[in-house]
Copies of this chain bind each other. A is one copy, B any other.
Amino acid sequence: GDAKAGRAKAVSCQACHGLDGLSKLPDAPNLAGQVEPYLVKALTEFRNGTRKNEVMSVAAQELTDSDIANLAAYYSGIQIDVVPPG
C-alpha cells in the first residue's frame, strides 16, 4: 500500500479514527500503528459483510482494494511507543 495515498483517503476516516489514528469516539478503535495485515482484513471483512458495524459496513462499500491497501499502509505506518506495563 501507498501510505501517502492512504493519508489522502483517510479524510473519510478522521471524524472517528483521527488522521493521527487516535479514536475520537468510544466505539471507534485507535488505528495508529495497528498491524497492517489486520487492517486489510478488517476493512475487507466490513466490505464483504463478514464483519458488521453500523458505520463501517457502509463506509467500506466505497473502498477499492487499492484504497484498503493504502489506508492500511497509512495507519500502520504511524509510529507508536508503548510504555511497558509495570
* Number of identical protomers: 2
Residue from A7, A28, A38, A50 having most chain B Cβ neighbours under 10 A: A38
CB neighbours (8 Å) of A23 from chain B are 35, 38
Q: How far, in whole Å, are A21 and B78 apart by their CA atoms in the complex?
A: 17
* Interface pairs (9), CB distance under 8 Å: A19-B85, A28-B35, A30-B33, A33-B80, A33-B82, A74-B85, A78-B82, A80-B81, A81-B81
Instruction: Supply 11 further A-B pairs (C-beta < 8 A) apart from A22-B82, A80-B80.
Output: A23-B35, A23-B38, A26-B35, A27-B38, A29-B35, A30-B34, A30-B35, A32-B80, A33-B82, A51-B52, A81-B81
